[in-house]
Amino acid sequence: MVETYVFGHKSPDSDSITSSIVMANLENELGNSEAKAYRLGSINKETEFILDYLGMDAPELLESIEDGANVILVDHNSPAESVDNLENANILKVVDHHKLALATSYPLFLRFEPVGCTETILCKLYEENGVEITKEIATLMLSAIISDTLLLKSPTTTEDDKAAVEKLSQIAEIDAEEYGLEMLKAGTDLSSFSIDEILSLDAKQIDFKNVKSIVNQVNTADISDVMTMKDELEEGMSNIIDEEDLDLFMLLITDIVNSNSQVIALGKYSCLVEKAYGVILENNTVLLEGVVSRKKQVVPIMTESA
Ligand code: MN
Ligand code: MN
């Protein structure tokens, strides 16, 4: 049987890594294909915490794929965020919770739901197909839902996510609150990263209409901790703006405990942040109260204002 490559987006987060593993397992359990999970970048600290907790190895790194390779995409569908040469791959399935950004010339299996995490959809797919959710699979699913919804506090959280957390924490025998906070905090440890690494950890290239932008999000338990690096961060951001000819670079420093984000905005369209949120940037920065979700509280508002 030909191998199927299963992977999430570049700059992988916990959802992309765990969903690849969980989806590959589902495919194998159902005998649909010989599926194997891959990653498109290095593992972040939070994901490392999850894999260490389970004593699991990270999926293999995938640099590119051959023409005609069978692939399954999870936690993304935009070719810009995907593997190189995706246009020549044979996409079998997509399971995702982002907006549709993919067009193919052939039919394929698509499962999109506007929920907080890909794993919430995968949890349903296991149930629908009568595949057992083991303790290990439940832990992977639960971890990603906690990560993507910031412990069910993000506005992206739905009733389905809450129900999944309830069910999965029982199977995994995990106190979601306690484990979740420990996991999220592990993900905020930036001490071993260079400025360039911090600026690419969770960076997404997003165009707000014609405004070519990068929006990068860094989680922290203490905003002032990250702001001590403001000068170095701004220097790195300016370099990336020059190199990639960007109109805007937004760095969201998200306080996972109090659910706010400090934004640093640079580039010739940094005024778009002021317009979108009705705020004034002082020294390129301002606190956006209650903003924690790039997908729900940044992309639509910034696009609207562009
Ligand atoms: Mn993701
Ligand atoms: Mn996700």
- Give the CATH class of 195-305: alpha beta
Does residue 162 surpass a pLDDT of 70? yes
* Residue carrying structure tokens 């069978």: 70
The pLDDT of residue 127 is 98
Q: How far is the CA of 263 from the centre of ligand 2 (A)?
A: 21
Task: Say which ligand is closest to the CA of 46.
Answer: 1
CB-CB contact of 93 with 76 (8 Å) = no
One CATH from 3.90.1640.10, 3.90.550.10, 3.10.105.10, 4.10.410.60 for 3-186 = 3.90.1640.10
Q: How far is the CA of 283 from the centre of ligand 2 (A)?
A: 32
CATH 3.10.310.20 residue spans of the chain: 195-305
The pLDDT of residue 201 is 84
CB-CB contact of 187 with 45 (8 Å) = yes
d(CA 96, CA 73): 8
C-alpha distances in Å from residue 9, one per residue of 39, 58, 120, 142, 253: 8, 15, 17, 19, 21
Q: What percent of the chain has pLDDT over 70?
A: 100
Q: How far is the CA of 116 from the centre of ligand 2 (A)?
A: 7
Does residue 1 surpass a pLDDT of 80? no
Amino acid occupying residue 154: S
Average pLDDT over residues 297-306: 96
More confident call, 202 vs 132: 132
Q: How far is the CA of 165 from the centre of ligand 2 (A)?
A: 15
Q: Find, among 137, 77, 69, 136, the residue nearest to 102 by Cα.
A: 77
d(CA 233, CA 284): 12
Task: Say which ligand is closest to the CA of 96.
Answer: 2
**Alpha-helical regions (H) of the chain:** 14-30, 45-54, 118-128, 135-149, 159-172, 176-187, 195-200, 223-227, 230-244, 271-277, 294-297, 299-305
Amino acid occupying residue 173: E
Residue 13's pLDDT band (cuts 50, 70, 90): very high
122 CB-contact burial (10 Å; exposed 0-12 / middle 13-18 / buried 19+): buried
For 117-152, the pLDDT digits (tens) are 999 999 999 999 999 999 999 999 999 999 999 999
For 255-294, the pLDDT digits (tens) are 988 899 999 999 999 999 999 999 999 999 999 999 999 9
Average pLDDT over residues 158-169: 98
Which two three-digit tokens encode residue 213? 């932008």
CB-CB contact of 268 with 246 (8 Å) = no
For 231-241, the pLDDT digits (tens) are 999 999 999 99
Q: How far is the CA of 48 from the centre of ligand 2 (A)?
A: 17
Q: How far is the CA of 283 from the centre of ligand 1 (A)?
A: 30
DSSP for 26-53 reads HHHHHTS-EEEEEESSPPPHHHHHHHHH
Does residue 88 surpass a pLDDT of 90? yes
Does residue 208 surpass a pLDDT of 80? yes
Task: Say which ligand is closest to the CA of 141.
Answer: 2
Q: How far is the CA of 9 from the centre of ligand 2 (A)?
A: 9
Residue 26's pLDDT band (cuts 50, 70, 90): very high
The pLDDT of residue 190 is 85
